[in-house]
Amino acid sequence: MKLVRFGNAGQERPGLLDNEGTVRDLSSHVKDFAGEALDPTYLARLRSIDLSELPPVAKGTRLGPPVAGTRNFIAVGLNYEDHARETNQPIPAEPILFNKTANCIVGPNDDVMIPKNSSKTDWEVELAVVIGRRTRYVSESDALSHVAGYCVCNDVSERAFQMERGGQWMKGKGCETFGPLGPWLVTADEITDVQKLDMWLDVNGRRVQSGSTATMIFGIATLVSYISQFMVLEPGDVITTGTPPGVGMGMKPPVFLKAGDEIRLGIRGLGEQHQRVVAFRP
- At 53-67, the pLDDT tens digits run 999 999 999 999 999
User: Is the model's pTM score more than 0.95?
Assistant: yes
Residue 99: pLDDT over 90: yes
Q: Does 43 score more than 90 pLDDT? A: yes
200-235 pLDDT, tens digit per residue, is 999 999 999 999 999 999 999 999 999 999 999 999
pLDDT at 85: 80
CATH 3.90.850.10 is held by the domain 67-278: yes
Please give the pLDDT value at position 3. Answer: 98
HEC secondary structure over the chain: CEEEEECCCCCCEEEEECCCCCEEECCCCCCCCCHHHHCHHHHHHHCCCCHHHCCECCCCCCECCCCCCCCCEEEEECCEHHHHHHCCCCCCCCCEEEEECHHHEECCCCCEECCCCCCCEECCEEEEEEECCCECCCCHHHHHHHEEEEEEEECCEEHHHHHHCCCCHHHHCCCCCCEEECCCEEEHHHCCCCCCCEEEEEECCEEEEEEEHHHECCCHHHHHHHHHCCCCECCCCEEECCCCCCCHHHCCCCCCCCCCCEEEEEECCCEEEEEEEECCCC
CB-CB contact of 216 with 267 (8 Å): no
Q: How far is CA 183 from the centre of its chain?
A: 9
pLDDT in tens, 89-98: 888 999 999 9
Instruction: List C-alpha distances in Å: 39 to 1, 74, 194.
Output: 14, 19, 19
With 0-12 CB in 10 A as exposed, 13-18 as middle and 19+ as buried, what is 9? Answer: exposed
d(C-alpha 1, C-alpha 186), whole Å:
6
**pLDDT value of residue 168:** 87
Residue spans per domain, the chain: 67-278
> What is the pLDDT at residue 167?
83
What does the pLDDT read at residue 86? 82
pLDDT value for 87? 80
Which are the contacts of 17, defined by CB distance < 8 A and separation ≥ 6?
A: 1, 2, 3, 4, 23, 24, 184
| Banded pLDDT at 112 (limits 50, 70, 90) | very high
Local confidence band at 81 (pLDDT 50, 70, 90 cut-offs) = confident
For residue range 224-267, list pLDDT tens digits in order.
999 999 999 999 999 999 999 999 999 999 999 999 999 999 99
Percentage of the chain with pLDDT > 90? Answer: 95
Q: How confident is the model at residue 127 (pLDDT cuts 50, 70, 90)?
A: very high
% of the chain with per-residue pLDDT over 70: 100
